[in-house]
Amino acid sequence: MRILVVGSGGREHALVWAIGASTLCDALYCAPGNAGIAREATCVPIKADDIDGLIRFARDEKIDFVVVGPEAPLVAGLVDRLEAAGIKAFGPSAGAAELEGSKGFMKDICRKYGVPTAEYRRFTDAAAAKAYIQERGAPIVVKADGLAAGKGVVVAQSVAEALEAVDDMMVARRFGGAGAELVVEDCLIGEEASFLALVDGETALPLASAQDHKAVGEGDTGPNTGGMGAYSPAPVVTQALIDEVMERVVRPTVRGMAAEGRPFKGILYAGLMVTKKGPLVLEFNVRFGDPECQALLMRLKSDLLPALIASRDGVLKTFDLRWHDENSVCVVMAAKGYPGDYKTGTEIKGLEKADAVTGVKVFHAGTVEKDGKILAQGGRVLGVTARGATVAEAQKRAYTAVDAIDWPEGFCRRDIAWRALARRN
């Protein structure tokens, strides 16, 4: 098969790496890709949101199957357009992708179909949002309704901080049109976990568990980011919790989306808060998480490509996935200043040495190759991912590889997987 992966991040590098190992894959392309992906697939200079360009390329190159990585082209309807052009694709339709494209829509679906989530209100008026915040008190959570690259959520510890977030999103329009509407919801207390399932419109197949670290600082402090690291499995996700999440969250959502005339196919990613009252949904994403994808695919024994095809074709009922018993840890290296302002164009050395560490794969996220040099071209730049017999061994291997990388302008958190380690000690 001739395969096209759409996207340029660490998630897409992990997908390319896994798909390239499939016996079904004869030719592999990535649009637009990055410096790491270019060593494992043919990169084509078409942006992930250039829907017309992607369709032309897929037709010209007789692509058999397209795997869409990022959320923005999914929400924009790339899968719909590809399928209409007779090109098979993995991922949800635009209607189904609204689960991530609109936080308000997602909360309404949860309410309608009995999926447990925090109490909330939707607002298109800043004054009304502020009045509700002052009535509810803090801590409280303020979310931009639309896509904001994982940064449109403020967990406000004070009313003043929440009011400032409303101004930032709705008045100053920090996230553009994504902040034209807000969701304000109660703050949940517990432990976060990522729960991903492969869905074919009716059947949902849970993937291995994972947990990510969204905050930029150690001890999960500081502003939220797209993700500073992840690990799998997540000890908080017990078999009992898996059964409960499938019964109370995943299956009702899949049934609800079908009832809405928006059958969901692809990856349904539930961001959960595991509370004393059980798991509650913080958000839904409609694609692999980044960096959860890197941690998960390091543990996947099965051939990924047939599973993605089965999701698209609606035949997951006959499918199963096998996983390595080992643990995996992904440490994100980001440009200093991220998630605020940061420099690009800085050189990264030592990648070959890092990749040579036992059990390690360095996934590229924001890199470009120029004159034989690997340069940083983004906020989150590398996903240093390792597998080990224990979470401690996987963590040690990941940080050994991180320390082999010579990039003075980069940084990482040094405590990825701390929750898993704390549970084992």
The token duo for 161 is 């901080």
Segment 263-284 mean pLDDT = 95
Q: How confident is the model at residue 425 (pLDDT cuts 50, 70, 90)?
A: very low
CA dist., res. 92 & res. 408, Å (int): 40
Per-residue pLDDT at 191: 87
Examine the pLDDT at 260 and tell me if it is beyond 80: yes
The Cα-based distances of 385 to 68, 271, 292, 294 in angstroms read 22, 21, 10, 7
Candidates 287, 387, 356, 389; CA nearest to 15 is 287
Q: What is the CATH number of the domain that holds 30?
A: 3.40.50.20
Q: Which of 65, 91, 117 is the last residue of a domain?
A: 91
Look at residue 193 in the predicted model and tell me its pLDDT. Answer: 87
| Tens digit of each residue's pLDDT (9 = 90 or more) over 211-239 | 999 999 999 999 888 899 999 999 989 99
Same domain for 65 and 34: yes
Digit-coded pLDDT (tens) for 138-187: 999 999 999 987 778 899 999 999 999 999 999 999 999 989 999 999 99
Alpha-carbon span 154 to 168, nearest angstrom? 10
Q: Residue 156 sits in a domain of what CATH number?
A: 3.30.1490.20
Q: What is the mean pLDDT of residues 23-28?
A: 98
> Do 223 and 309 sit in the same domain of this protein?
yes
Statement to judge: residues 13 and 85 lie in one domain: yes
Domain range enclosing 359? 327-419
Does residue 118 lie in a domain region? no
Q: What is the pLDDT of residues 101-151, one digit of tens each?
A: 999 999 999 999 999 999 999 999 999 999 999 999 999 999 999 998 777
**190 vs 424, more confident:** 190
**Rounded Cα–Cα distance for residues 355 and 336 (Å):** 22
- Give the residue from 113, 147, 180 where a domain finishes: 180
What length is written for the chain? 425
Structure-token match 């009992």, residue found: 240
Name the pairing type of β-strands 120-123 and 182-186.
antiparallel
Indicate whether 378 and 408 sit together in one domain. yes
424 has pLDDT over 70:
no
CA 16/CA 19 separation, integer angstroms: 5
Residues 229 and 332 sit within 8 Å (Cβ to Cβ): yes
Please indicate, yes or no, if residue 155 is contained in any of the structural domains: yes
Q: Give the CATH number for residue 352.
A: 3.90.600.10
**How many domains does the chain contain in total?**
4
Check residue 149 and give its pLDDT. 75
Pick the more confident residue, 38 or 425. 38
Of 262, 288, 318, at which residue does a domain stop? 318
Do residues 86 and 140 both lie within one domain?
Answer: no
Q: What is the three-class DSSP state of 35? A: coil
In this structure, the answer to whether residues 78 and 137 fall within a common structural domain is no
pTM of the model: 0.94
Q: CA 167, CA 361: separation in Å to the nearest integer?
A: 42
pLDDT in tens, 394-413: 999 999 999 999 999 999 99
DSSP state of 341: -
Closest to 271 in 3D by CA, of 254, 288, 258? 288
Assess whether 225 and 332 both reside in one domain.
no
Question: Residue 202's domain is classified under what CATH number?
Answer: 3.30.470.20
Q: Kindly state whether residues 384 and 273 are assigned to the same domain.
A: no
Burial track 328-367 (b if 16+ CB lie within 10 A, e otherwise): bbbbbbbbeebbeebeeebebebbeebeebebbbbbbbbb
What are the C-alpha distances in Å from 295 to residues 10, 169, 388?
11, 32, 11
Contact status, residue 366 vs residue 378, Cβ threshold 8 Å: yes
pLDDT given at position 223? 86
Q: 113 in a domain, yes or no?
A: no
Q: What does the H/E/C string look like for 108-175?
A: HHHHHHCCCECCEEEECCHHHHHHHHHHHCCCEEEEECCCCCCCCEEEECCHHHHHHHHHHHHHCCCC
Q: What is the dihedral of CA 108, 121, 280, 202, to 10 degrees?
A: 10
Residue that wins the pLDDT comparison between 223 and 24: 24
Task: Provide φ and ψ at 28, rounded to 5°.
Answer: -130, 125
- CB-based contact 360:384 (threshold 8 Å): yes
Q: Which residues pair with 411 in a beta bridge?
A: 334
Crossing angle, helix 251-259 and helix 103-113, to 10 degrees? 100
pLDDT, tens digit (0-9, with 9 covering 90-100), for 332-354: 999 999 999 999 999 999 999 99
The counts of H helices and E strands in the chain are: 15, 24
- Answer whether residue 55 is part of any domain: yes
Please give the pLDDT value at position 151.
76
CA dist 252 and 13 (Å) reads 32
How big is the CA angle at 335 (ends 296 and 287), to the nearest 5 degrees?
30
Q: Are residues 362 and 393 in the same domain?
A: yes
User: What are 303-335's pLDDT values in tens digits?
Assistant: 999 999 999 999 999 899 999 999 999 999 999
159 with 196, same domain: the answer is no
Give whole-number Cα distances, 88 to 3, 200, 265, 309, in Å: 10, 14, 12, 9
Q: Which residue in 78, 12, 40, 51 sits closest to 366, CA to CA?
A: 12
Sequence-ordered alpha helix ranges (H) in 246-319 = 251-259, 292-297, 304-313
196 and 172, same domain (yes or no): no
Q: Are residues 233 and 273 in the same domain?
A: yes
